[in-house]
Structure formats: C-alpha cells, structure tokens
Amino acid sequence: MIPYGRQSIDDSDVEAVTRVLRSDWLTTGPAVEEFERAVCSYTGARHAVAFNSATSALHGACHATGLGTGDVVHTSPLTFMASANCARYVGARPALLDIDEATWNIDVTRVDAAVDALVAVDYAGLPVDLSVLPHRPRVVIQDSSHALGALTPDGPVGNCAHSDVTVFSFHPVKPVTTAEGGMATTNDDELAARMRRFRSHGIDRSPRANAWEYDAVEVGYNYRLTDVQAALGISQLARIEQFSLRRNEIAARYRDLLAGFPIILPPQAPTGWRHGYHLFAVRVPERATVFRRLREEGIGVQVHYVPVHHHTVSADIEIPPEGFPVADRVYDGLISLPIYADLTDAEQDTVVATLERVLAEVR
C-alpha cells in the first residue's frame, strides 16, 4: 500500500531520540526548550510553546487570548473538527464561513466586524492570506497544522505577521513529526506566558522563598510535550527545507503527470508564496467508486475532510439558508493522493497510472 502520507525517519532521528532516552530527562525538559528555540529561529516568531498535540495548542491559544462564553469564533467548513472544537472547549460558539473557490481556504473577505475571533486554516498547506482581512477580529489564530515550511511575502508561516497565535501539528503525516505533538507561536509575551501555564496545570513557578513552592493560579491541563518527542522534532526540523522542497517537487510533478485527466487539481500558491503541500487533494468524478478502487489497487488515498457542518456535533452551528455551497462543491469529489518526502518517482508513477486506469473505468 502506498499511503497518502507518512513520516520520514532516518538514523539521525533515531540517534537523537536515543540520546534523550539515555539522559536524565524524559518528560518536559531541556530538549523541549531547545525545540521551542529552534521553531522560533525557523519561523521568526518571538515565542514558541510546545504542546502534546495541535488540538491542545488550539485550546491553549483560545484560552490565552481570552475567548469564552458569548464569543463567536469563525473557521472554515473544510477542516478537521479541532479547528471548530477549540472554540467549544472555552465556552465560545463556533461559526462557519464558506471557502474561497480559488484557494479552498476560508473566504476572509466574508469576515465582518461583529465576529470576535477567527481560526484561519491553511488547508493542505496553502497559507491563508490574512493581509486582506477587511476587518481584524479581536483574536486571530492561524491554524497552520498543514503549513510548516510554507512561505508568504511576509516571511515564514508561523511568524505571526497577521495573527495573534499560529499553531502547528507534528503528527506523523505532517511536514515534521514528533510522533504526536503541536506548537503555538506568538509575538506576545503575555500570551506565551499564559499558554505555558495552561499546558502545565495552570502552575506559576516564579521563584519563591522555598524551592518546592509553586502556585496553581488557574485551571490548566497536562498538555506538555516530552523531551523524547522534542528530540525527534529538533532532528526533523533540521531537514524542513529538504522536506518542503521535496513536497513541492512531487506536487509539480503531479501537475505535469495529471494534466488532461478528468479531475480538478488543487489550488497553487501565488507568486512569491510557497505551498506547504501537506496534502495533494484533487477532485474526481464518482468519488466513492474511485476511492474504493484505488484502495483495492494499493493506493492509500484519503478524504480531507468531511466538512464540519456535516457532523452530528455541529448541530449547534447556525447554517445560513444558502448553506456553504463552495465547501460542499469542493468536498464532493475530494480525494488526497499520496504525498510525503520519501515518496519515490516510481511510486508516484504507480499512483498516476492507477488513477488513470480507475478513471477510465468510471467514464
């Protein structure tokens, strides 16, 4: 089976993790701090706060920015549920705005002055252009779970040029992995401090008269990343440019090989931008049949995502009379083809040849 995504692990990653396993620290310690500094160095953000998942990081970002009961948080219909659930975690109300047909990202031109917050998702790794927001909500969180390694005219995604907080995921199929893990970047000292407390039981460890003393100043969670995971992340991050360039090479090759196929290719990054290409999602006819046949032929395609408003838990989301026609139109036919740094040209040729054969069957 050629999967839609997978991790790229080499001997340097194994050695990095082994060093930590033989050290005095396994849980949150010096490797986590080093990983956070490395992410700051790469993105240009002032602070980076490691979490045990991107979902935890989104929760921490919503908490730290003061979102709560009565607040409305807009996000995209075409995303994983965490982008909406993070509002629910703090008592806020998630709401949806349709996506832009040209980018498959949330249509930021629809953001109005009344909304309290925006969780803007970089779908598939293409950064949202937050510079064109007609109104800046009180809180802007960029969900860049797909987009580590992507670039905009303002610099690397994660520098928070137009957001209060940016969140990354380090799941194995993402550009960099810590097995499971996440990171929140920010340029705000107080937001960083709040997120650090939040990920560790709300504890303030400011120096006190006695070394054992500490103060739990608020309700927090155990959302910490371990040094074992951070060691893997440090090693992986050293190859982020290699990973990003390879993903873009694979995407460019797909565009050449799939030219003329009866499918719709994903949006490209504008001039002066670089796509993260966590996913290479295409739109095909007869999606259910194509999906099943590709899986039968050993091509591990996936669908990203069942839209937020299609889920039972989203009964609390108000759907306008017109619905979300662009998101539903894009979703109808959506399939993610394999893309990851270790995908070979021969494997990619197999994916394309199999897709061509399957498409011929459904015509």
Read off the pLDDT of residues 86-108 as tens digits, 9 standing for 90 and up: 999 999 999 999 999 999 999 99
List Cβ neighbours of 248 (8 Å cut-off, separation of 6 or more): 274, 275, 277
List of domains in the chain: 2-237 (3.40.640.10), 240-362 (3.90.1150.10)
- The predicted-structure confidence for 198-236, as pLDDT tens digits, reads as follows 999 988 888 777 877 878 889 999 999 999 999 999 999
- Answer yes or no: is pLDDT of 267 > 90: yes
| Pair of tokens at residue 94 | 């998630």
Give the largest CA-CA distance in the chain: 76
The secondary structure of residue 164, as a DSSP letter, is: S
DSSP letter at 96? E
Distances (CA, A) of 145 to 19, 30, 124, 282, 346: 28, 24, 9, 19, 28
What's the confidence (pLDDT) of residue 204? 87
| Concatenated DSSP letters of 329-347 | HHHTTEEEEP--TT--HHH
Mean pLDDT of 70-79: 98
DSSP classification of residue 131: G
Instruction: Name the phi and psi angles at 183, rounded to 5.
Output: -150, 140
Contact assessment for residue 47 and residue 192, using Cβ atoms and an 8 Å cutoff? yes
Q: Which pLDDT belongs to residue 188?
A: 98
Using one digit for the tens of pLDDT, what is the confidence trace for 154-201? 999 999 999 999 999 999 999 999 999 999 999 999 999 999 999 999
Would you tell me the crossing angle of helices 227-237 and 30-43 to the nearest 10 degrees? 30
| Cα separation, 145 vs 170, whole angstroms | 8
How confident is the model over 258-283, as a mean pLDDT? 98
Residue 131 has what pLDDT? 97
Quick one: tokens of 97? Answer: 């705005």
| Token output for 221 | 């969670």
pTM (2 decimals)?
A: 0.97
Tokens of 179: 């097995």
Residue length of the chain: 363
The 10 Å Cβ neighbour count of residue 316 is: 10
What residues pair up with 68 in beta bridges, in sequence order?
none
Percentage of the chain modeled with pLDDT above 90 = 94
